[in-house]
Structure 1
């Protein structure tokens, strides 16, 4: 067996390797004497973080972190003594108690700064979302709604996700593998793991129903050595050793643990035949996969579109409403709602029949669609009622749009022999509003318009007479 890592893992190596300085300072005689005076330096690790690090059944520290740590401490002239723990939480607790001087491979966070000093990054690796194959690509996790994320206990990512993305429900697991298994078995929507761990685990466990669905912006793992706060000189000595590690050395260590292995002595003629056969099968599978995705997208569109007016329906509005509300809260923008009711619509049905009534609704919907902005969402609320959801709009802007719609309807010839009008209610999002409160105020404003003569725009300001 031999490793074919030169191409396959070159990209991973280039993405994950931290920068190094060729002009790194060498250890002084005083540094070496101090390192020797420390004797055995105790350290704790994550015993279940493959391929970065594990504690083997024989009690040995193994993995990418183990090899890098040995390289660094060897150059620093340090001798290490492993403090065995059963999980990462125990390692953190042992470090806090001062029973291990070093933590081998972790991100720096404000909470950890309370008892640790940190070296320069020993290794840098991107964090990526892992989801099931059918999950959409994740561009902005802040706009996700009703989704959960599984994370191993005690990680720095847990702190940051809870702080930056409160819209995601965090599920804590006891290991990396458990977090990924929860996604695979639909117990969680996603997990956030390092690129190296994601690729390694998916390949090793054969979890081909999973995919990497996006990268978390500005959430790289800058993995460092944590040193107890009363050991600043030890941290400085480790930094000097870290600065001597080259990208080539890091790449060699990665490939020892995650390189793809193949057998030598290949029958190339047979390989080509098999490859061509696989390409044909994959082409057929890809084509039918594309057809099924297109069909699924069309079914989704139809389920969220009103059959008569071809506007988005109430289902589509209910899906978009919480997304826009969350965006308005996060960005400090306005969010307004326009509610439209066709005046005397029952009279149209009674005098001309329902077919004419349907034509009036279709024409009305087209007028509304042509009047709104590209970012607005017009929808059929039910019966003769339409609504327009207006992101990034305060009350005065929504009133201008509502008046434009009212005038467009008033000026249009509906072929009924009479002028057709609408009454409109407008409300805008308040500091403590939820969706129902915003809808209720728009509906009340609409009622005022209907009861005070119709063919007019009323706003929530009219509810109080201000």
Structure 2
């Protein structure tokens, strides 16, 4: 059992070690003096992230991280007590509290909140009973029951991306795990840190981590009332000052395992000290090398202007998704997008404005597409969306949603911006080159038909080759 727990905690540390944003060395040195009282609401029952204890205090990982952020951004906190997460959300919407402490950003929450940069990054994982098979794709288990606490961003994402999945809403994290344990639900999707803590605390070792959905990680932020962007900007200074070491130390405080032994270790103290020094030195250089390699790998796969995948990243992602689609028999669709009359923007308004439009469009695409979709800047004014496990009709709905979002978004130029789209869906035996050529042919026809429209590739009407 100890080996199982240590392995699970090792997975937690693997996530935390490489996922946290780097902090500037002297962020705190530039903070203005003085404090401002900020009212805030929390989830009163979300251990180990946060809860309100019997004395009415906000405690947990989020509480300690939030305290550091507030201290370093010149703020003081005033807790607004609530009975549950739903009441906290309602209090935030009605203005009873200026800040929500620890939550994911989502389209619904964007209606009344602005968000800081991530305070902590943590994966969501699928938890099932021991006998349940590994879950490679949620689309393959859409008839099963997934338990979730009410009011979470995960619920919002799942209802959008997997509408056939049966959701069972409960009042707390513990009830979600209990529903799986009692066979009232087939699985739950929760934070890796919460899973490690809950399974250890409750002793539910008949439950296991059975999978992970790409793009469904937690980027836990501070939510601020939408009319208080200046407060959000000050809090971001405190968030930027947090180091990976501070995050690890706080998480370790709530996830550490204590093992008692009868062995007298005093004769080995000198040897242990030497080994610890060697391990710490080696670990530091290994960590630094891995971090540099990870950064280089990321830069080699990312477009410098938009932060989306470049063609190298596309090749890796496409090969992976194509192999998965052929192995599992699931659908795969691609949408190729092109900004209409983009040359006019560069010629009349300048390349700086053109670059700003490209960055803004990339941001809008991130908001509109699903968490499972993969965004690529194909080159110039062309973008591409890889849609895993997506039938043709589902991809049509997504593409039309993208076109409408672009039509209605103000891009800061004197005329409306539109895009054209070509869509193709993988057929048996097809290669990635053929699939892309079909999407490209459909895009060309969309341009020829007048732009600002979607064309779906039809082999009877469109030739994919010049």
TM range (shorter): 0.5 to 0.7
State the shift of 1:326 in Å. Answer: 8.6
Aligned ranges for residues 154-303 of structure 1 at < 5 Å? 154-266=151-263
State the shift of 1:239 in Å. Answer: 0.7
Q: d(CA) in 2 for partners of 1:69 and 1:258?
A: 18
Which residue of the partner structure matches residue 33 of structure 2? 32
Aligned ranges for residues 403-442 of structure 1 at < 5 Å? none
Q: Does 1:331 align with 2:391?
A: yes
Deviations 1:94-133 (A, max 9, x none): 0001111110000000111111110000000000000011
Which of 69, 74, 92 aligns to 2:71? It is 74
Deviations 1:255-286 (A, max 9, x none): 11110012253379xxxxxxxxxxxxxxxxxx
Q: d(CA) in 1 for partners of 2:259 and 2:111?
A: 47
Deviations 1:338-378 (A, max 9, x none): xxxxxxxxxxxxxxxxxxxxxxxxxxxxxxxxxxxxxxxxx
State the shift of 1:28 in Å. Answer: 4.6
Which residue of the partner structure matches residue 22 of structure 1? 24
Q: Secondary structure at the match of 2:151?
A: coil
Q: d(CA) in 2 for partners of 1:220 and 1:256?
A: 22
Which residue of the partner structure matches residue 12 of structure 2? 12
State the shift of 1:182 in Å. Answer: 0.4
Q: Secondary structure at the match of 1:261?
A: coil
Which residue of the partner structure matches residue 396 of structure 2? none
Q: Is the 8 A contact 2:28 2:72 kept in 1?
A: no
Q: d(CA) in 2 for partners of 1:148 and 1:226?
A: 30
Q: Is the 8 A contact 1:24 1:240 kept in 2?
A: no
Choose 324-333 or 235-244, whichever is displaced more: 324-333
Report the TM-score, using the length of structure 2 for normalisation: 0.55
Q: d(CA) in 2 for partners of 1:186 and 1:6?
A: 27
Deviations 1:9-60 (A, max 9, x none): 454233135122335644656x435xx2x3x211100000010001001101
Which residue of the partner structure matches residue 313 of structure 1? none
Q: Is the 8 A contact 1:124 1:221 kept in 2?
A: yes
Q: Secondary structure at the match of 2:55?
A: coil
Which of 118, 129, 132 aligns to 2:129? It is 132
Q: d(CA) in 2 for partners of 1:139 and 1:8?
A: 19
Q: Is the 8 A contact 1:145 1:167 kept in 2?
A: yes
Q: Is the 8 A contact 2:9 2:196 kept in 1?
A: no
Which residue of the partner structure matches residue 114 of structure 2? 117
Which of 34, 47, 50 aligns to 1:53? It is 50
Q: Secondary structure at the match of 2:147?
A: strand
Deviations 1:154-207 (A, max 9, x none): 000000001001121011000001011000111011000000011111111011
State the shift of 1:77 in Å. Answer: 2.0
Q: Is the 8 A contact 1:143 1:326 kept in 2?
A: no
Q: Secondary structure at the match of 2:33?
A: helix
Q: d(CA) in 1 for partners of 2:140 and 2:9?
A: 33
Q: CA 1:6–1:188 in 2, change beyond 3 Å: closer, same or farther?
A: closer
Q: Secondary structure at the match of 1:120?
A: coil
Q: CA 1:90–1:27 in 2, change beyond 3 Å: closer, same or farther?
A: farther
Q: Does 1:105 align with 2:102?
A: yes
Q: Secondary structure at the match of 1:330?
A: coil
Q: CA 1:235–1:168 in 2, change beyond 3 Å: closer, same or farther?
A: same
Q: d(CA) in 2 for partners of 1:103 and 1:43?
A: 6
Q: Secondary structure at the match of 1:150?
A: strand
Q: Is the 8 A contact 1:88 1:154 kept in 2?
A: yes
Q: Is the 8 A contact 2:142 2:162 kept in 1?
A: no
Choose 152-161 or 14-23, whichever is displaced more: 14-23
Superposed CA RMSD in Å reads 2.7
Report the TM-score, using the length of structure 1 for normalisation: 0.55
Q: CA 1:7–1:201 in 2, change beyond 3 Å: closer, same or farther?
A: closer
Q: d(CA) in 1 for partners of 2:330 and 2:14?
A: 40
Choose 244-253 or 6-15, whichever is displaced more: 6-15
Q: d(CA) in 1 for partners of 2:138 and 2:27?
A: 42
Q: Is the 8 A contact 1:27 1:76 kept in 2?
A: no
Q: Computing the radius of gyration over CA atoms, which structure comes out larger, 1 or 2?
A: 1
Which residue of the partner structure matches residue 83 of structure 2? 86
What count of residue pairs does the alignment treat as equivalent? 274
Q: d(CA) in 2 for partners of 1:326 and 1:149?
A: 23
Q: Is the 8 A contact 1:45 1:103 kept in 2?
A: yes
Q: Is the 8 A contact 2:39 2:98 kept in 1?
A: yes
Gaps of 5+ in 1: 269-322, 334-390, 395-466
